[in-house]
């Protein structure tokens, strides 16, 4: 009986904490989603950033590891599923490489390099929400064997250049999301995009999930599309 009493006491404490947590989550949802802190982004200095918000790390084997960057992850919010090409598939820079799903929104990311898929992150497939939170470590998605790396790297940013570029992207997203300055927004989308800011002027994590489909497609084209 003592063993049962101790086991039940521990289970009781765990259940109590679960109840407290679920009440907290409900409250947080009602109040507002997590505020997106755009003023604190870490940028690994040896990582190459492709303009379509994917990153590339060159491994000692000569292969490259690819994932989506922290900016994209924060804008999208919790990544619930990832669609990854199978091993052996050949990809070209600027071609669709993988797709992520968050809520009812699906977004495609372009391959940052030409190459053949040689590895996929099973942890990311099994538990994308958790794995993607650490965008440059557990959040990697593919390993590619590059075939044209020197040329591919030319349009990517690294170190100080990457920092400056990401800062510019953050500003651009703020303008897009909060409708502060829509000079780059196509005419027919201005109304919808401007209307999406329901957060009293704050950028919040997973903001894209609360935008309508047109705005999401616009984001995909403007931020995840190939830029020269």
Residues 156-175: x/- map of binding to other proteins (CB under 8 A)? ---xx--x--xx--xx----
Query: Positive or negative CA dihedral for 57, 67, 222, 99?
Result: positive
Name the pairing type of β-strands 96-102 and 115-120: unpaired
- Do the Cβ atoms of 194 and 203 come closer than 8 Å? no
DSSP 209: G
Does residue 202 bind other proteins (CB under 8 A)?
no
Per rule CB under 8 A, is residue 43 in the interface with other proteins?
yes
CA-CA distance, 200 to 205, in Å (whole number)?
A: 14
> Would you say 129 and 80 are in contact if contact means Cβ atoms under 8 Å apart?
yes
The CA-to-CA distance between both ends of the chain, in Å, stands at 71
The distance of closest approach from Cβ of residue 95 to other proteins in the complex, given in angstroms and rounded to an integer, is 27
Estimate to the nearest angstrom the gap between the alpha carbon of 185 and the chain centroid: 22
**10 belongs to the binding site for other proteins (CB under 8 A):** yes
Does 93 help bind other proteins (rule: CB under 8 A)? no
User: Cβ of residue 217: shortest distance to other proteins, in angstroms?
Assistant: 25
Q: Which of residues 107-136 bind other proteins (CB under 8 A)?
A: 122-123, 126-127, 130-131, 134
Q: How many residues belong to the site for other proteins (CB under 8 A)?
A: 44
Which residues lie near other proteins (CB under 8 A)?
Answer: 1-7, 9-11, 14, 16-17, 20-21, 38-47, 57, 59-60, 122-123, 126-127, 130-131, 134, 137-138, 159-160, 163, 166-167, 170-171
């Amino acid at each position: 009986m003592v063993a049962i009493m101790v086991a039940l006491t521990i289970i009781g404490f765990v259940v109590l904490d679960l109840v407290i947590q679920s009440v907290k989550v409900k409250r947080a949802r009602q109040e507002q989603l997590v505020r997106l802190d755009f003023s604190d982004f870490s940028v690994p200095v040896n990582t190459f950033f492709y303009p379509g918000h994917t990153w590339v790390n060159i491994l000692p084997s000569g292969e490259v590891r690819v994932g989506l960057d922290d900016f994209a992850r924060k804008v999208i919010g919790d990544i619930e599923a990832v669609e990854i090409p199978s091993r052996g598939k050949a990809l070209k820079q600027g071609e669709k490489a993988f797709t992520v799903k968050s809520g009812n929104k699906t977004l495609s990311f372009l391959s940052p390099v030409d190459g053949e898929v040689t590895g996929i992150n099973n942890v990311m497939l099994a538990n994308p929400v958790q794995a993607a939170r650490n965008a440059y470590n557990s959040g990697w998605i593919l390993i590619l064997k590059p075939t044209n790396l020197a040329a591919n790297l030319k349009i990517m940013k690294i170190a100080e250049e990457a920092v400056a570029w990401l800062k510019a992207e953050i500003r651009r997203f703020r303008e897009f999301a909060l409708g502060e300055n829509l000079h780059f927004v196509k005419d027919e989308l201005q109304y919808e995009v401007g209307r999406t800011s329901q957060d009293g002027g704050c950028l919040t994590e997973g903001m894209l999930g609360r935008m309508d489909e047109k705005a999401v497609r616009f984001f995909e084209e403007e931020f995840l599309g190939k830029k020269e």
